Amino acid sequence: MWFRYQNVCLEAIVSTLPDERLSSAEIEARLAPLYRRLRLPEGRLELMTGIRERRFWARGTKPSQKSVETAQKAIRQAGIDKRLIGALVHGSVSRDFVEPATACGVHHQLGLPPECLVYDVSNACLGLLNGMLQVAGMIELGQIRAGVVVGTESSRALVESTIDKLNRDTSLGRNDIKPAFASLTIGSASAAMVLVDRELSRTGNRLLGGVARTNTEFCHLCQGGYDESDGARGSLLMDTDSETLMREGVGTAQSAFVEFLASLDWEPGRIDKTFCHQVGRAHQRLLFDALALDPAIDYSTFEHLGNTGSVALPTTAAMGVENGHLSKGDRVALLGIGSGINVLMLGVEWQRSLLASRREDYCETAK
């Protein structure tokens, strides 16, 4: 499926990160009983993934708390009147509860107008990108003038439950622990984006469009949920065939990329910068080899954030913008791949960041 927009701009993209850090070495220290029993070499987690550390929110933190904080930053950066925001989409896997939508609490805390459309979207690692599509479509149709997409992923429960299970279940052998390996790479973060009608934009950062492609034959390769066998609610666990998921995900992305280039009339060599879903070193290498792209144009965060799920790509983009990865006139590819398998690729024609312009204004004033 192709998407094309004439009137949508990406006005702001921001992130919020937790303070608490957990290194791969510390995870292996917590897995000492397992490592001793199976005689596993220390350092394998970082060596195989390239992930040095990931982050956790403070215990008891609800996703909505951080989503409110991050959305507020995005709205401030965009300088948009809240009364013009016609949609709020909360796109992370993590949420406060099953119902009502976590977006409801975020909407209330932000003080957005009652006319604003409010709901959650869930699609594994593509939730926020799917939210972008929906908000962009509403702007393009003239239904709304501006919208916010936000999400917060919290990884503590999954990582700690996985460590506990691996240590407790002494029946597990080396091959048995492989499906749990990906769970140890998951990190926490929050991201938000403001999209606006082109007439309202002060950045001119046009969201041009993109493509979506699915390969649900492999929907079983990564599945997560609560194991209720060990308690009233159970422990949050995830089962992932990492090698097959990576291979089939990149294969699906390779097919989608051909359509992506055609949909925007781009050539591979004319893509100036990329932001991708963050999995690890092996995934990044395989993806860029398959798409025949230069890894130098990419900005990565998996080394110190791990895989932060649906907020991984937008968080990476926000940090890239803040750290000067983009220049005026850059053609930017947002390359999203999620379990399911789902692929979503979007193209942005970048002009400037309002954050950067405020810094420039400050420097001029200081002179």
Q: Residue 91: is its pLDDT beyond 80?
A: yes
Q: What is the pLDDT of residues 264-298, one digit of tens each?
A: 999 988 999 999 999 999 999 999 999 999 999 99
Enclosing H/E stretch for 3: strand 2-4
Q: What is the pLDDT of residues 127-138, one digit of tens each?
A: 999 999 999 999
Enclosing H/E stretch for 366: helix 354-366
Structural domains in the chain, CATH included, are 9-197 (3.40.47.10), 204-356 (3.40.47.10)
Strand partners, 13: 193
At residue 136, the pLDDT reads 98
At residue 323, the pLDDT reads 96
Burial class (CB in 10 A: 0-12, 13-18, 19+), 240: buried
Strand partners, 336: 344
Section 353-357 average pLDDT = 74
Percent of residues, the chain, with pLDDT higher than 90: 87
CB atoms within 10 A of CB 216: 9
CA distance 97 to 131: 19
Tokens describing residue 313? 């790509």
CA distance 348 to 63: 28
Q: Which of 9, 116, 125, 222 is catalytic?
A: 125
At residue 22, the pLDDT reads 97
Closest by CA position to 321, among listed 155, 136, 191: 191
At residue 363, the pLDDT reads 35
Total H helices, total E strands in the chain: 12, 15
> HSE on the CB side for 70, CA within 13 Å?
29
Which of the two residues, 150 and 269, has the higher pLDDT score? 150
- Annotation marks residue 125 as catalytic: yes
Confidence band (pLDDT; 50, 70, 90) for 355? confident
At residue 234, the pLDDT reads 59
CA distance 3 to 210: 5
